[in-house]
Amino acid sequence: MMGKIFMVFLSIIIPAYNSKKTIAPLIFSIAAAAKVDFGEIEIVIVDDGSTDGTVEKIEKDDKLLRSLNKLKSIKIIKLKKNSGPAAARNIGVKYASGKIVLFLDADVVLYKNTLFEVIRSFKNDLDLYALTGVWDKRQKSDKFFPKFKALRDWSYWINERNPRDYYYLFSTRIAAIDRGLFLRLGGFNTTYKAALVEDIELTYRIAKRYAVVFNPKVKVAHEFEGFLPIAKKYFWRSYYWSRIYRERKKFDPVATTSKEAITTISAGLLVLFSFLYFIMIILNYKTGVIVGGVYLSLKSIIFTFLSLILFIHLRGVRKFLWFCLKEEGLLFAIKAFFTGIALYLVILSGAGASLFTVSSQARQGK
């Protein structure tokens, strides 16, 4: 058991919306934590207007309730209407009594040492104010896309992050912060009703004065959805992040990096020039230009640009593809390349839609 440097009430904040199927495994995993003093841990569940019986699942499950007896306390806050995860988390913090608040998504599962690592990190470093963890790269599902998404996120955080940057994104899948600091910052921005960029926006406010430290041992399990639900999230996350970028004019150290911006644009150009080259072949197009006395067919020019763009794109995703190759084999890596192209197009579409909206609003304001 860890020695007590100071009394820490770790308040675990869980916003839950229609989480009946996932809330029990999460709570059981909290109760199964190793090497922690449960007398200094509480859970605050904020039911965000669920309609599937999420709260009833907790209140009427005897096995679940028995597992919670070892905790200092459990508080269940019921909201009358769905307000979004940002508002639910803010409300949870108001009811929390801990020095440190730990945010968890309602569809994750903790490993036995996860809570220990969170508490140990804050107790051993009195200058630590914000901490974040990571999703595990492993999936129970044998389906391609969930495994792809898990490896993609893991690679962003573990393999591809710029080590010169001093902060990580305060990712609320699992992230902890000093409660006093959170309140001083005003909490999450509640103008974001869905789980979009509220965590990123808070990160920027934290990072003005404090580091968001990453501990790879602070890990949770999460089973990812299929392509379409994830693509929808990517679109809207890109849409709103682009708005923030136009104000800050800065990229991030993880995922939304300058390198990823180049890789995203190259994916769009790769599809465009591939389409043009395909049309040239189908139509047997033979028009060209003379450059320095040398005749160059339009088809050869497009092929040259296509090759250059492919090189740029492969350079951007090389670490991820190599990671896929080592983890899952050649066929998986090839599928990951094309799936990545599709997601980059979704991200590009979201950014384009955001820019179009701003341009339209500007024209209407004139």
Over the stretch 186-209, which tens digit does the pLDDT of each residue have?
Answer: 999 999 888 789 999 999 999 999
The pTM (predicted TM-score) of the whole model is: 0.89
Q: What is the mean pLDDT of the chain?
A: 90
CA distances from 262 to 204, 247, 334 (A): 22, 19, 21
User: pLDDT class for 98, splitting at 50, 70, 90?
Assistant: very high
**Across the strands, what pairs with 15?**
46
What gap in Å lies between CA 253 and CA 255, rounded to an integer?
A: 7
Interval 111-162: pLDDT, tens:
999 999 999 999 999 999 999 999 999 999 999 999 999 999 999 988 887 6
pLDDT at position 294 over 60: no
Tokens of 106: 């309602």
Single out the residue of 349, 353, 328 nearest to residue 149, CA to CA: 328
110, 220 contact by CB (below 8 A): yes
> Residues 331-349: pLDDT tens digits?
999 999 999 999 999 999 9
CB–CB of 253/162 below 8 Å? yes
Q: Kindly state the percentage of the chain with pLDDT values over 90.
A: 72
Domains of the chain: 10-224 (3.90.550.10), 258-365 (no CATH)
Yes or no: say if 40 and 7 are a contact pair by the CB < 8 Å rule.
yes
Residue 91 CA neighbour count, 13 Å, CB half: 21
Q: How far is CA 262 from the centre of its chain?
A: 20
Beta bridge partners, 42, equal: 11, 73
- Phi first, then psi, for residue 163 (nearest 5°) are -70, -15
Where do the H-state alpha helices sit in the chain?
20-31, 54-60, 62-68, 85-95, 114-124, 144-154, 179-185, 198-207, 227-248, 258-283, 298-328, 330-365
